[in-house]
A and B are shown apart, each in its own frame.
Chain A
């Protein structure tokens, strides 16, 4: 589903070092993969390469039928819609309510029927336990609630891949575990989940597979448990 073929990445600028160096790996459908490593290991860059927010300096990234070497600019939104993104800093639109933030992604994909929008949005808000806060603006929510809203936004259009960049970075451990629990449920319902984190304990607890990065290099790629059998969406 996701393949990195000899991927190198460095950013333009005075810093010459590789951010990622010779990454060769594949992620299968339905896996819950944790990218582990300290700050600067290249975890976020790895995720940005999947959505082509960044392009590889050398090598190629393939995600489903999309190939970084051949993709046209106008097809990038299509690739990104296959993914649901969750960030450490939530990245919710401040002047829209929780429900509007979530609905926006559906509207973006052409769903404009009000009843359908309401049904789909509320279904996913229920799923992350945020239905009661649907009319709140992000600034009125706690960190955990904002992250759940961000997850709802990432899930509402039923993407096949979920990418989470340090999703528990701004949360206390209890809330972090709760967020991981939600992501695990998403994974169990069939989505491939990639989580970048520096928290090895969370990774061990929730992941099927751990990929360790250090200074841009692949240090370890270890399977902890078999990926779960895919079930119907809960």
Chain B
């Protein structure tokens, strides 16, 4: 514990004493983290929007003529057992007829045809995770079709395919932009930390000469990387929160990053900073080693 406190104090000293490099590094990092946070915000809202659309995915199952209410209830029970299914609603023939007649402006279908022509039907809605999975609706439809007494299953095939395709494209686009932003964060972190290391090269050289282990030299830099990264990510979140009013004006109904996402963002940035520091410091440390000279045989 005491050792960790010592290394944290050392890292803070590097942070504090390298004011110029630290400040410009934090600024540059805040900019790229802000971009990354924007991507996260977009992803979060796209996911929400997609979930809302996908929740409208439903199957209408029409039963064969002659399948009575008992058979309809039996099928309702069987379909309810599928893992993908959230709810199965039995649509009463009389209710359906009344609805159609209402839509037709009070025209009596029964008077015209002599009987209620509508079959028993079921409306099946999916769980949110299944609704989000492309192809889930199609495969469930084909399974239900194989049941005896099922005449037809319809679900707006074309609409569902377009929706799935667009959501896939949108997700890939946000992932690509997010990946680019993450790479930028890493590059800026590497450059910043390399500059800090170069600024302390002489100290590191002295430390190596008096017997410091690589771990002793490396640890404050790793902590510094994490500190710089997490403080920049925090600033980026503050900026994002400040810009919320703008988002609300342009995108009413848009949701801000939930606390769990913010916490993950900060934690991830710390890990990212430590990793970048490791990648940056390790070769620099090695380069301070004595160059291997020619061994004469």
Contact = CB atoms under 8 A, between A and B. Distances in A.
User: Do they bind each other?
Assistant: yes
A77 B144 CA distance: 72
Contacts of A55: 290, 292-293
Contact of A57 (B203, B206, B210, B296): B296
A51 interface: yes
Interface stretch (B38-46, B84-92, B124-132, B211-219): B211-219
B294 A10 contact: yes
B2 interface: yes
B260 interface: no
A2 interface: no
A92 B205 CA distance: 11
B212 A108 contact: yes
Interface stretch (A36-44, A78-86, A203-211): A78-86
B14 to A, nearest CB: 10
Contacts of A185: none
Nearest to B295: A57
B209 interface: yes
A74 B215 CA distance: 10
B209 A58 contact: no
Interface residues of B, number: 24
Contacts of A93: 203, 206
How would you classify the secondary structure of chain A's contact residues: helix, strand, loop or mixed? loop
Contact of A54 (B17, B211, B290, B294): B290
A1 interface: no
B207 interface: yes
A14 to B, nearest CB: 12
Nearest to A78: B211
Contact of B211 (A10, A12, A80, A112): A80
Interface string B51-81: 0000000000000000000000000000000
Interface in B134-173: none
Interface in B182-207: 202-203, 206-207
Given A57-B295, A77-B212, A108 B207 contact: yes
B287 interface: no
Nearest to A58: B296
A216 B13 CA distance: 43
Interface of A: 8, 10-12, 51-55, 57-58, 74, 77-81, 83, 85, 91-95, 104-105, 107-110, 112-113, 153
24 contacts: A8-B296, A10-B293, A10-B296, A12-B293, A52-B290, A57-B294, A58-B295, A58-B296, A74-B213, A77-B213, A80-B209, A80-B211, A83-B211, A85-B209, A91-B206, A93-B203, A95-B203, A108-B210, A108-B211, A108-B216, A109-B211, A110-B3, A112-B2, A113-B2
Interface of B: 2-3, 6, 13, 17, 202-203, 206-213, 216, 290-297
Closest 6 CB pairs of A and B: A80-B211, A81-B211, A12-B293, A77-B211, A77-B213, A112-B2
Given A10-B296, A80-B209, A91-B206, 16 more contacts: A11-B293, A12-B291, A53-B209, A53-B290, A55-B292, A58-B296, A77-B212, A85-B210, A92-B206, A94-B202, A105-B211, A108-B207, A108-B211, A112-B3, A113-B2, A153-B210
